[in-house]
C-alpha cells in the first residue's frame, strides 16, 4: 500500500463521482424513462457480474473497500478522460482520410490507458490487494464500471432514436449491447490488469521483466479493443471483423480465468511467484 496512491485515488474517486452524476443528469434530461431503465438494468448487471467474480478464488480475501472506487474509476474518471480526449483524437484520422480507425483511435487509446491507470492506483492503494491475479479481478471491476455507464448512455440515445417509445428504445439498445459483444470492457481491462498484477506482485523479478509483462498484456488488450472498433465500409466485413476479434478475445479471457483460478487455489504464501524469473542482484 502506498499513501500517495491512496490519496490520488481518493481525489480521483471524488472527481469521478461528479462525472457520474453529470452523466446521470444528462441522461435524465434526454429521457427520464431511459434513465430509469438504465439505472435499473445497470444495477442488476453490476450486481450480477460482481457476484460471479466473487465466486472466483482469485477474489481478494476479506477485501471489499476497493470495489466502489474501482467502479467509480471506470464509470467516472475513465469516462471523464474519454470525454476530454476521445472526440479530438477521433477527429484526427477523419481529417487524414483514415475513417477505418476513427473509432479505434478515439476509443481504444484514451479508454484503455485511463482504465489501466485506475488498476495501478487501486492495486497500490489497498494492502490486501497483493497477488498477481488481483490485477485481473480489479481490472474486470474497473471495466464493469465503464461498460455500465457507457451502456446507460447508449440507452439514452436509443430512447431518442426510437419513434414509438423511449422505454423500448432504451431497452433495445441495452439488450443489443449485452448480446452483441458482451463483457467487452470487463475483458479488455481484465487482460490489462492481469499484466499489471503479474508485474507488481511476482516475486524476485527484474524491472525489465515487470515492464515487459505489464506493457505486453496492455498492448494485447489495446489491440483487441482497437481491432473491435474498426469501421469497415461493408456490413459483412464489419461482422467478420467482430467475429475474428471475438475468436481471440473470449478464449484468451477464459484461459486467463482458468490460469488465475488455479494459481489462486494453490497459493498459501504471502509473496507469490508464478514462474521462475531472473533474480535481481
In a domain, 274, yes or no: no
pLDDT tens digits, 223-239 = 999 999 998 888 899 99
In a domain, 281, yes or no: no
**C-alpha cell read off for 75:** 464509470
Start-to-end C-alpha separation, the chain: 24
- Residue 62 confidence (pLDDT) above 90: no
Residue 16 CB partners (closer than 8 Å, separation 6+): 72, 73, 75, 76, 77, 80
Task: State mean pLDDT over 71-85.
Answer: 91
pLDDT tens digits, 249-273 = 999 999 999 999 999 999 876 544 4
In a domain, 32, yes or no: yes
Mean pLDDT estimate for the chain: 89
- Residue 87 confidence (pLDDT) above 80: no
Expressed as residue numbers, the domain containing 205 is 3-263
- Residue 1 confidence (pLDDT) above 80: no
Predicted pLDDT at 100: 84
Q: Exposed (0-12), middle (13-18) or buried (19+): which is 57, by Cβ within 10 Å? A: middle
pLDDT tens digits, 89-127 = 667 776 777 778 887 877 788 899 999 999 999 999 998
- Residue 197 confidence (pLDDT) above 60: yes
Predicted pLDDT at 185: 96
In a domain, 270, yes or no: no
In a domain, 276, yes or no: no
Predicted pLDDT at 158: 86
Least confident piece of the model among 122-136, 148-162, 249-263: 148-162
* CA–CA dist 181, 242 (Å, integer): 8
Predicted pLDDT at 270: 55
Count up the domains in the chain and report the number. Answer: 1
Q: CA-CA distances (angstroms) from residue 271 to 128, 199, 261, 268?
A: 12, 13, 17, 9
Amino acid at each position: 500500500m502506498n499513501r500517495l496512491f491512496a490519496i490520488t485515488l481518493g481525489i480521483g474517486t471524488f472527481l469521478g463521482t461528479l462525472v457520474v452524476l453529470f452523466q446521470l443528469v444528462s441522461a435524465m434530461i434526454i429521457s427520464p424513462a431511459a434513465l430509469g431503465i438504465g439505472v435499473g438494468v445497470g444495477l442488476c448487471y453490476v450486481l450480477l457480474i460482481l457476484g460471479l467474480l466473487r465466486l472466483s478464488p482469485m477474489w481478494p480475501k476479506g477485501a471489499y473497500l476497493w470495489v466502489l472506487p474501482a467502479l467509480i474509476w471506470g464509470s467516472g474518471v475513465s469516462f471523464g478522460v474519454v470525454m476530454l480526449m476521445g472526440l479530438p483524437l477521433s477527429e484526427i484520422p477523419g481529417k487524414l482520410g483514415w475513417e477505418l480507425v476513427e473509432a479505434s483511435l478515439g476509443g481504444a487509446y484514451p479508454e484503455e490507458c485511463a482504465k489501466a491507470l485506475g488498476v495501478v492506483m487501486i492495486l497500490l492503494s489497498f494492502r490486501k490487494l497483493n497477488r498477481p491475479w488481483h490485477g485481473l479481478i480489479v481490472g474486470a471491476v474497473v471495466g464493469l464500471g465503464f461498460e455500465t455507464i457507457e451502456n446507460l448512455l447508449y440507452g439514452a440515445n436509443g430512447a431518442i432514436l426510437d419513434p414509438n417509445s423511449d422505454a423500448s428504445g432504451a431497452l433495445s439498445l441495452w439488450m443489443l449491447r449485452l448480446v452483441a459483444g458482451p463483457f467487452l470492457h470487463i475483458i479488455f481491462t481484465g487482460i490489462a490488469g492481469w499484466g499489471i498484477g503479474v508485474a507488481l506482485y511476482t516475486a524476485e523479478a527484474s524491472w525489465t521483466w515487470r515492464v515487459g509483462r505489464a506493457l505486453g498484456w496492455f498492448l494485447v488488450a489495446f489491440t483487441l479493443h482497437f481491432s473491435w472498433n474498426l469501421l469497415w465500409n461493408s456490413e459483412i466485413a464489419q461482422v467478420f471483423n467482430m467475429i475474428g476479434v471475438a475468436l481471440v478475445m473470449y478464449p484468451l479471457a477464459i484461459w486467463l480465468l482458468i490460469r488465475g483460478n488455479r494459481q489462486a487455489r494453490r497459493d498459501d504464501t504471502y509473496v507469490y511467484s508464478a514462474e521462475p524469473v531472473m533474480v535481481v542482484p
